[in-house]
Amino acid sequence: MRRKLVAGNWKMNLLRDEAQALVAEILGMLADEESRSVHVVLIPPYIHIAGLVQQTSGDKRIAIGAQNCSDKMSGAFTGEVSAAMLKSVGAGYVIVGHSERRAYFQETNQQLADKVNHSLSEKLIPIFCFGEVMEERKANNQEAIVKRQLEEGLFHLSADEIKNCVLAYEPVWAIGTGLTASPAQAQEMHHFVRSLISTKYSGALANEISILYGGSVTDQNAKELFALPDVDGGLIGGASLKSRNFVNIVKCLPY
């Protein structure tokens, strides 16, 4: 059975006290969810990871992740943070290939493949992001774009390796714009991705891998999106910075 999860990407937001207060609120609001199989990943800026790992210690519903890692293992790379460093402070997940990293920092699929490899070597779970921009969607090239991103960044993995990854479809045109892929568009792409995994690996493996939707998910549309047969939860941006909105999204996960 595929794991259902909601991951909150805080991006470059929140000071230390604000981060701790937000987590405290989320923990309190999730107190009545003990009987449910909920899994939440909170993904703060690097500097908050160690503190939030300690703050959430003992709560098996919540893991702490990182927004990025280096494509290098160690060395003279000023400003970079390695997968091993993230693991050493208690991170359990790491986002790889977020659309903002691809766009603003020109990360290539080969770099992302290296990041995936380093993450898995440290037993971090990569949340591998992929998706098309508006021009590619308008040209009806979204499937070709997504296929190339997966083939070059992820499909070098063995079956045993890729089953330890989480995928996240980000229609880039729906991030921070207020636009959202329709349920039909989201399901169509998630199903397409699962079919690619089935062809490359096996149908059984395709049915094991969690694929999240990330693109202006709110507490108003999450229930409909999460009910889709191939959508296993969400990668949440802005709404993850508001405790009530975020927990309401988490509560939309099916049992």
Tell me which residues are annotated as active site.
Answer: 98, 170
How far is Cα 127 from Cα 93, in angstroms, rounded to an integer?
A: 7
Closest CA to 231 of 195, 189, 202, 173: 189
Cα 173 to chain centroid distance, Å, stands at 17
Residue 126: burial class (beta carbons within 10 Å; 0-12, 13-18, 19+): buried
Residue with tokens 């290098």: 72
Give helix 183-200 / helix 142-153 axis angle, nearest 10°.
40
How far is Cα 177 from Cα 167, in angstroms, rounded to an integer?
A: 22
How far is Cα 82 from Cα 86, in angstroms, rounded to an integer?
A: 6
Residues 6+ apart with CB under 8 A from 28: none
